[in-house]
Structure 1
Amino acid sequence: MNRKILNNQYILMINRYFYPMKRENIDQLVKVEYLQSVSCPLQDSQFSFFQIVYVLSGKGFLKINNNMASYSEGSLILLTPNDQHYLEIQENTDLLLVKFSERYVKNYKWNSINSMQCLLYGASFLSGCILQNKPDIVLVKSIVDSLLHGIHHPDLYQDELTLTYVNALIVIAARNISKMRAEHITSNTDKRVIDIIDYIQGNIHDPALLKVSSIAKKFGFSETYLGSYFKKQSGETIQQYILNYKMRLIEHRLLFSDMRVNEIVTEFGFSDESHLNKFFKKRHHMSLTEYKKGKEPQVVA
Structure 2
Amino acid sequence: MRKENMHQSVEVIYKKVEDCSMVNSQLSFFQMVYVISGTGFLRINGNSILYQTGNLMLLTPNDYHTFDISTPTEFLLVKLNTEYVKEYRSKSIDHIECLLHYASHLSGCILKRKADEFLVRSIAESLIYAIDNKDIYDEDLISHYVNALIVIAARNIAVIKPSGVKVSADKRILEIINYIQGNILFPQKLKASAIAEKFDISETYIGSYFKNHCGETIQSFVSNYKIRLIEHRLSFSDMRINEIVAEFGFSDESHLNKFFKKHRNISLTGYRKAKVLPN
Q: What's 1:176 paired with?
A: 156
Aligned-partner SS, 1:60: strand
Matched, 1:33 2:13: yes
**Within 2, Cα distance between the matches of 1:82 and 1:215?**
35
1:95 Cα offset (Å): 1.2
* Conserved? CA contact 1:80–1:124, under 8 Å: no
Amino acid in structure 1 at the alignment position of 2:145? Y
Q: 2:236 aligns with which of 256, 267, 276?
A: 256
Amino acid in structure 1 at the alignment position of 2:75? L
**Within 2, Cα distance between the matches of 1:181 and 1:282?**
26
Q: What's 1:238 paired with?
A: 218
**Within 1, Cα distance between the matches of 2:200 and 2:89?**
29
Q: What's 1:130 paired with?
A: 110
Q: What's 2:83 paired with?
A: 103
1:202 Cα offset (Å): 0.3
* Conserved? CA contact 1:58–1:91, under 8 Å: yes
Q: Deviations over 1:115-143 (max 9, x none)?
A: 43343345226522223433323322221
Aligned-partner SS, 1:251: helix
**Within 2, Cα distance between the matches of 1:296 and 1:283?**
20
1:298 Cα offset (Å): 4.9
Matched, 1:293 2:273: yes
1:288 Cα offset (Å): 2.0
Q: What's 2:52 paired with?
A: 72
Q: What's 1:188 paired with?
A: 168
Q: Deviations over 1:188-224 (max 9, x none)?
A: 3233221111110000011111112211211222333
Q: What's 1:16 paired with?
A: none
Matched, 1:60 2:33: no
**Within 2, Cα distance between the matches of 1:154 and 1:264?**
42
**Within 2, Cα distance between the matches of 1:297 and 1:72?**
36
- Aligned pairs for 1:264-275 (under 5 A) are 264-275=244-255
Amino acid in structure 2 at the alignment position of 1:109? R
Matched, 1:149 2:129: yes
163-172 or 277-286, larger mean C-alpha shift = 277-286
How many percent identity over aligned positions?
Answer: 56
Q: Give the direction of change, closer, same or farther, for the CA distance of 1:132–1:147 in structure 2 (3 Å limit).
A: same
Matched, 1:214 2:194: yes
* Conserved? CA contact 2:165–2:215, under 8 Å: no
Q: Give the direction of change, closer, same or farther, for the CA distance of 1:258–1:32 in structure 2 (3 Å limit).
A: farther
Amino acid in structure 1 at the alignment position of 2:169? T
1:64 Cα offset (Å): 4.3
Count of paired positions: 277
* Conserved? CA contact 1:41–1:88, under 8 Å: yes
Q: 2:180 aligns with which of 171, 191, 200?
A: 200
Q: What's 2:140 paired with?
A: 160
- TM-score by length of structure 2 reads 0.86
* Conserved? CA contact 2:165–2:214, under 8 Å: no
Q: Give the direction of change, closer, same or farther, for the CA distance of 1:93–1:258 in structure 2 (3 Å limit).
A: farther
Where in structure 2 are there 5+ consecutive unaligned residues? none
* Conserved? CA contact 1:23–1:298, under 8 Å: no
* Conserved? CA contact 1:49–1:81, under 8 Å: yes
**Within 2, Cα distance between the matches of 1:226 and 1:235?**
13
Aligned-partner SS, 1:58: strand
Q: Give the direction of change, closer, same or farther, for the CA distance of 1:159–1:298 in structure 2 (3 Å limit).
A: farther
Q: Deviations over 1:152-183 (max 9, x none)?
A: 3333333222211100011112232334549x
Q: Deviations over 1:94-113 (max 9, x none)?
A: 21111223432332221223
